[in-house]
Every structure is written in C-alpha cells, then in structure tokens.
Amino acid sequence: MENSKPQRRVRYKGKYPKKFEEKYKELEPEKYQDIINHVISKGNTPAGMHRSIMVDEILSFFDIQPNQIGLDATLGFGGHSKEILTKLNHTGHLHATDLDTIELPKTEKRLLDSGFTQNDFTLHNLNFKDFDLIGEQKYDFILADLGVSSMQIDDPMRGFTFKFDGPLDLRMNPNLGIPANFRLRNLSALEIEGMLVENADETYAKEIAQAIVKEFSQGKTIDTTKALQKVIASALDRLPKTIKEDAIKKASQRTFQALRIDVNNEFESLYEFLEKIPLYLNKGGKVAILSFHSGEDRLVKKSFKQFLNDGIYQEISGPLSPSGDEVFTNSRAKSAKLRCAIKS
Ligand SMILES: C[S@@+](CC[C@H](N)C(=O)[O-])C[C@H]1O[C@@H](n2cnc3c(N)ncnc32)[C@H](O)[C@@H]1O
C-alpha cells in the first residue's frame, strides 16, 4: 500500500502582490495601467503613487493665468505640480520644494517625462520654511499639501506606519535630523506623554509613555515599527476585550503621527512658513493649504485669521472638505481640510 499521508495543500498566494517590493507592476504605472485602475477603483492608492487631493478646488481657487509664478511647497508625487504646469502651459514658472531626497528625483523624472522642462519648473530639496532661499521675489500662488505622501507611508524602510515592519525612522529627509528610535530613547516619560498629547491628542498618552520608558529601563530596544506597536499594545492590554483591538489600532496611528511630527519638527516648520508667506505674495496673490489633522489646521486657521485682522490678507476662506465622491474613491482624503487666503 502506498504511503497515504495526506499531501499538504499548497498555500494560495493570491493574485496580487502583497509585499511592497513585489508591487513591481504598481511601481511602473505607465506599463500596468489596468492594475492601477483596479487598485484605484477599490478606493486604494497603488504602491509608489500618491493621489492628489482636492485638485479641482485648488485649481479653481488659483485661477492660474499665463506667465504666473507659483510655488508648490510640498512636491511629493508631483500630482498638484503637474496640474499647475498644465494650466501654466509652458509660460511663467513653478518652483517646488520637498524635504524628501528619495522621492524628489523620481518626481523630477516623471515631470520631465510628461513633457515639462527646466524652463517650466525648478525643484528644490528644501524645507518649505526656507522657501525664501529660492530667491524668487514674489509669487502669484503658493500651495502646501501638508504631511506625508503615500510613497513615504507605503515604503516599509521609511518607518512611517506600524502596518509593515521596518526601521523606526520617520524622517522625511533620511539624511537630516535623528531617526525616531534615537529620539524616543532620549525622552523622559513626561516628555513622551506631552508629545503624544500635543501632537496627536492621544487618549492613552500616559500609559504609552510609561510603557516605552519601562522597555528602555529593562535594557530593551524599540528600533522597529512593529516593536513600537507591541509596546503600545502592552500599554493598552488592560482594556476590555471588546474595545481593545480598535483602541490599539487608533492609539498606534496617533502615536506614529505624534512621533513623525516631532522627528520632522513639523509644527515649527509650518509656523515659520505661514509667517513668511505674505511677504512673498504679490498683491492679490493666493495661498492654499491642505491639512490633515487638527494640530496643523489650528496653526493655518490662526495665521490666516491674524493676517486678515491685520489687513495683510484681504480675504480668507475654509475649511473646505473633499467631496463625498473623492473620499469614496480615495480614503486618504477623508481628513483633508483646505483653507485659502488672498493677499491684500
Ligand atoms: C501630502 S504629500 C504632497 C503630495 C503632492 N501634493 C502630490 O500631489 O503629489 C506631502 C509632501 O510634503 C513633503 N513635506 C512635508 N513637510 C515638508 C517641509 N517642511 N518642507 C518640505 N517638504 C515637506 C513631504 O516630504 C511629502 O513629500
């Protein structure tokens, strides 16, 4: 009789690549448009891409005219920039800044491949708070789409999300500043708690801060995204079973957000940027800022209101939210808020 040991069923791997490195098709969108369309139709963003938010609203506010000079302070994938360049139609000039040394050259190639030239745009690997260093006297419009790009979130090696394991880095420019794992090690429990509350309104800030510090005091390290999430889960372990899983997920999202804001000095940069904008806008020049959480939106709102009261801005508007359709087809748009101002 033959050996009747049952054969193990080969595990079905699924039709679509699961790991970031396997998503070669999505990473070459020009070649695999059908797959890209499929991912987008499900309300997701294909790996290596970023879908620009509230494009129509921003373009309609700017009402771009030939020969205008603009600044896209957060180039990212270049989606907004490409639309702006299309409106400029090879007249005027668009400057764009981004901290990200990994994505910027890819975006530059993408814009060149789309038929725009160095006469049309100049990219600057700069923090937007230093946009005055570009040397342009005045702008007709300035756009900032704050936060991180989908490419940054989706790349496990950058450490922006607990969904994948990777080094706990979270720097937008990996050559500047210190990565999140070092930063955490140098903070006291009180400082971590303050950071979690100030940057993300974290409900369990005290518990998470204490769990992080306890880990270090036991000689352990928190060098990866999954290691940090494990510590967050341990801090919330006492919660009732019915709410625990959801609470851990939300606390992890907020903790990563808070850490990212801290590591990249996001509030300081935004504050300095907002202060400089009116100095570099022409009369009637326009600024549009997309923000994604209350901390950012508060700063934008305060700055716009202050400059309106001082007569420096003639008009402010917002917050405007994306349409239901946009949120339906791009879940990353759901927390977006657009505020606009016009220089007196
Ligand atoms: C949401 S993405 C922008 C996406 C872009 N609007 C598009 O349509 O592709 C935000 C980008 O801003 C960059 N960024 C964030 N803070 C910055 C800062 N202070 N200075 C320069 N770039 C910054 C990030 O590196 C990221 O690439």
In short, whether 127's Cβ falls inside 6 Å of ligand 1 is: yes
* List of residues 6+ apart from 267 with CB closer than 8 A: 199, 261, 295, 296, 299
335 phi/psi in degrees, rounded to 5: -100, 10
Query: Burial code of 156-176, b = ≥16 C-beta within 10 A, e = fewer?
Result: bebbbbbbbebbbbbbbbbee
Pair 260, 114: CB distance under 8 Å: no
What per-residue confidence (pLDDT) applies to 264?
A: 96
Q: Among 149, 263, 292, 293, which is best to mutate for testing ligand 1, by the most ligand atoms less than 8 A from CB? A: 149
In short, whether 58's Cβ falls inside 6 Å of ligand 1 is: no
In short, whether 291's Cβ falls inside 6 Å of ligand 1 is: no
Q: What distance in Å separates the CA atoms of residue 303 and residue 317, rounded to the nearest whole number?
A: 12
Closest atom of ligand 1 to CA, residue 292: 1
What per-residue confidence (pLDDT) applies to 21?
A: 57
Ligand 1 centroid to residue 100 C-alpha, Å: 8
In short, whether 78's Cβ falls inside 6 Å of ligand 1 is: yes
Closest atom of ligand 1 to CA, residue 127: 20
CATH 3.40.50.150 given to domain 55-150+267-343: yes
What per-residue confidence (pLDDT) applies to 97?
A: 98
In short, whether 337's Cβ falls inside 6 Å of ligand 1 is: no
Ligand 1 centroid to residue 15 C-alpha, Å: 32
Ligand 1 centroid to residue 225 C-alpha, Å: 22
Residues of the chain with CATH 1.10.150: 173-263
Half-sphere exposure of 177 (CA within 13 A, CB side): 20
What per-residue confidence (pLDDT) applies to 196?
A: 95
Closest atom of ligand 1 to CA, residue 75: 5
Ligand 1 centroid to residue 123 C-alpha, Å: 12
Residues of the chain with CATH 3.40.50.150: 55-150+267-343
In short, whether 52's Cβ falls inside 6 Å of ligand 1 is: yes
Enumerate the β-bridge partners of residue 288: 143, 340
Q: pTM of the prediction? A: 0.88
| pLDDT averaged per 10 residues, the chain (length 344) | 60 52 53 65 68 96 98 97 98 98 95 97 98 95 95 90 92 95 94 94 96 96 96 96 95 96 95 97 98 94 98 97 93 94 98
Q: What distance in Å separates the CA atoms of residue 25 and residue 47, rounded to the nearest whole number?
A: 9
Enumerate the β-bridge partners of residue 289: 144, 339
What per-residue confidence (pLDDT) applies to 299?
A: 96
Q: What distance in Å separates the CA atoms of residue 96 and residue 144, rounded to the nearest whole number?
A: 10
What per-residue confidence (pLDDT) applies to 1?
A: 47
> Which residue is closest in CA terms to ligand 1's atom 7?
79
Query: What kind of architecture, by CATH, is found in domain 173-263?
Result: Orthogonal Bundle (1.10)
Ligand 1 centroid to residue 306 C-alpha, Å: 25
In short, whether 145's Cβ falls inside 6 Å of ligand 1 is: yes
Ligand 1 centroid to residue 14 C-alpha, Å: 33
Ligand 1 centroid to residue 114 C-alpha, Å: 20
In short, whether 79's Cβ falls inside 6 Å of ligand 1 is: yes
In short, whether 76's Cβ falls inside 6 Å of ligand 1 is: yes
Q: What distance in Å separates the CA atoms of residue 243 and residue 221, rounded to the nearest whole number?
A: 28
